[in-house]
Amino acid sequence: MLANPNPGLYIHIPFCLRKCPYCDFYSTADLSLKPAFLKALLLEIRLTAGPACTFDTVYLGGGTPSLLDTGDIQQIIDAINEYHSILPDAEFTIEANPGTVRPRQLSALRDVGVNRINIGVQSFQSRFLRFLGRIHTAGDSDRAVQSARDAGFENIGLDLIYGLPGQSKADLAEDLRRAVAFRPAHLSCYTLTYEPETPMGRQRQAGRIRPMPDGRLADLMIVTAEYLGANGYERYEISNYARSEPSEHQLNRSKHNQKYWNHVPYLGLGPSAHSYAPPVRRWNMRDVGKYIDRLADGQLPVGGKEQLSRRQEMTESIYLGFRQADGIILDRFNQAFECDFLQEFSDPLVFLKSEGLLMVDETACRLTEKGMRLLDSVVERFLILDF
């Protein structure tokens, strides 16, 4: 719920050299499908052209978008500029795997207009990279970040994963130290999750992996927030930190991801991509072969859709608002749902304030650091109400 926002454009590139065992995002290792996929994607870009709609963010995610040739990315950019309206100063992000990027490729990406790169480091330590099934080494990560700098990227984001079995506070601090040494504009620090349909999720269910206990995980969350805060990074979402020089910290936040957290419309293209035009959410087929076939027939590859009720949208706004350091902006929430947030939820607010889990001022309701560590429990206090 941002004031007068532009929508965002997401493009899903569904290819990986090898699938990571923890990853639940759709991808395939069959790279022979790349030419047919690109042809289908260019057609989907054309078919989704519509009434004047100006995007101020473009995000190439995956999968591993850095597996595409620069010429392929140039074709994608040319197509979205031909059939959709993109602001000249739009944030244009590409995700990259340290094991697949090359210096010449990075320079070419800058030349075609990509101005932000998000590098999936995950860890700088070999044993954790092996556990996560990553194809790269710590040395690859060092070289990828330096090559991005040399290519002219100033807006560099790094992804880390913590909460791995056997990981200590010292282990996490070492990963954070290595990441901060590069002075990236952005850091995403995610806790390891075990999605049921992934190999790692099945190993957990079979008892072959024992997840980190919640108490130790909370300790690592504290380590992350304190270390990054002491080194000049502002936590603006529960897992996301922006380098906080006064002149640029708002720019260092991911403009695109903030759209997801604030119920801003977005268009998703590619297999499994989601789109949102309030109150309707739809998603594409989660199969690149079916995606290609559907578009070859001249049809959009829609896999399903749902219309969110007022209750569903309100629930999502509370959950996503509490994930952010800015919290739930009261005027925006009240206007969107034609209610008084403080009055509607007075009982849980009184209790949670007394427990030191949230704070309220005249503009917003925000979680404290303690509240963020107990996010799910906090949100449950709001879900039991019949609103």
338 occurs within a structural domain: yes
Instruction: Express each pLDDT in 311-336 by its tens digit.
Output: 999 999 999 999 999 999 999 999 99
Q: Are residues 62 and 208 in the same domain?
A: yes
The candidate with the shortest Cα–Cα distance to 79, out of 108, 111, 117, 44, is 44
Q: Are residues 375 and 250 in the same domain?
A: no
299 occurs within a structural domain: no
The H or E element spanning position 365 is strand 364-367
Which pLDDT band, with edges at 50, 70 and 90, does 383 fall under? confident
pLDDT at 384: 56
Q: Are residues 116 and 255 in the same domain?
A: yes
Instruction: Report the relative pairing of strands 240-243 and 233-237 from DSSP bridges.
Output: antiparallel
**Mean pLDDT confidence for 151-172:** 97
Q: Are residues 225 and 156 in the same domain?
A: yes
**Mean pLDDT confidence for 131-153:** 96
- The percent of residues in the chain predicted with pLDDT above 90, rounded, is 94
Cβ neighbours of residue 14 closer than 8 Å, sequence gap 6 or more: 26, 27, 28, 37, 62, 63, 270, 271, 272, 288
Q: Which domain holds residue 210?
A: 8-261
**Mean pLDDT confidence for 274-296:** 97
Task: Write down the mean pLDDT value for the chain.
Answer: 94
Find the distance separating the first CA and the last CA of the chain, reported in whole Å.
19
The candidate with the shortest Cα–Cα distance to 98, out of 143, 37, 33, 157, is 143
pLDDT at 249: 63
The candidate with the shortest Cα–Cα distance to 151, out of 185, 108, 186, is 108
Query: At how many degrees (to 10) do helices 375-383 and 310-323 cross?
Result: 150
Interatomic CA distance for residues 236 and 78, integer angstroms: 33
Q: Are residues 144 and 26 in the same domain?
A: yes
Residue 314 belongs to a domain with what CATH number? Answer: 1.10.10.920
Q: Are residues 315 and 251 in the same domain?
A: no
1 occurs within a structural domain: no
1 has a pLDDT exceeding 50: no
Residue whose pair of structure tokens reads 């309701």 in the numeric block: 365
Q: Are residues 183 and 60 in the same domain?
A: yes
375 has a pLDDT exceeding 80: yes
302 occurs within a structural domain: no
303 occurs within a structural domain: no
The candidate with the shortest Cα–Cα distance to 22, out of 203, 187, 180, 176, is 203
Instruction: Express each pLDDT in 41-59 by its tens digit.
Output: 999 999 999 777 899 999 9
Q: Are residues 236 and 334 in the same domain?
A: no
- The three-state secondary structure class of 297 is coil
pLDDT at 304: 98
Question: Which of 261, 286, 301 is a domain's end point?
Answer: 261
Number of domains in the chain: 2
Question: Which of 261, 290, 321 is a domain's end point?
Answer: 261
DSSP string for 267-291: EEESTT-EEEETTEEEEE-S-HHHH
303 has a pLDDT exceeding 60: yes
Q: Are residues 234 and 364 in the same domain?
A: no
For the record, the structure tokens of 119 come out as 């590098």
326 occurs within a structural domain: yes
**Mean pLDDT confidence for 229-256:** 90
Which pLDDT band, with edges at 50, 70 and 90, does 385 fall under? low
Q: Are residues 16 and 151 in the same domain?
A: yes
Residue whose pair of structure tokens reads 């739809």 in the numeric block: 282
Interatomic CA distance for residues 295 and 300, integer angstroms: 6
Q: Are residues 319 and 247 in the same domain?
A: no
DSSP string for 204-260: HHTTSS-PPPHHHHHHHHHHHHHHHHHTTEEEEETTEEEE--TTTHHHHS-HHHHHH
77 occurs within a structural domain: yes
Give me the amino acid identity at 209: I
Cα 76 vs. chain centroid, distance in angstroms? 21
Question: Which of 240, 261, 282 is a domain's end point?
Answer: 261
pLDDT at 251: 80
Q: What is the pTM of this model?
A: 0.94
8 has a pLDDT exceeding 60: yes
Q: Are residues 127 and 219 in the same domain?
A: yes
52 occurs within a structural domain: yes
Residue 203 belongs to a domain with what CATH number? Answer: 3.20.20.70
Instruction: Express each pLDDT in 59-118 by its tens digit.
Output: 999 999 999 999 999 999 999 999 999 999 999 999 999 999 999 999 999 999 999 999
DSSP string for 154-217: -EEEEEEEE--TT--HHHHHHHHHHHHHT--SEEEEEEP---TTSHHHHHHHTTSS-PPPHHHH
Which pLDDT band, with edges at 50, 70 and 90, does 4 fall under? low
- Strand partners for 159: 188
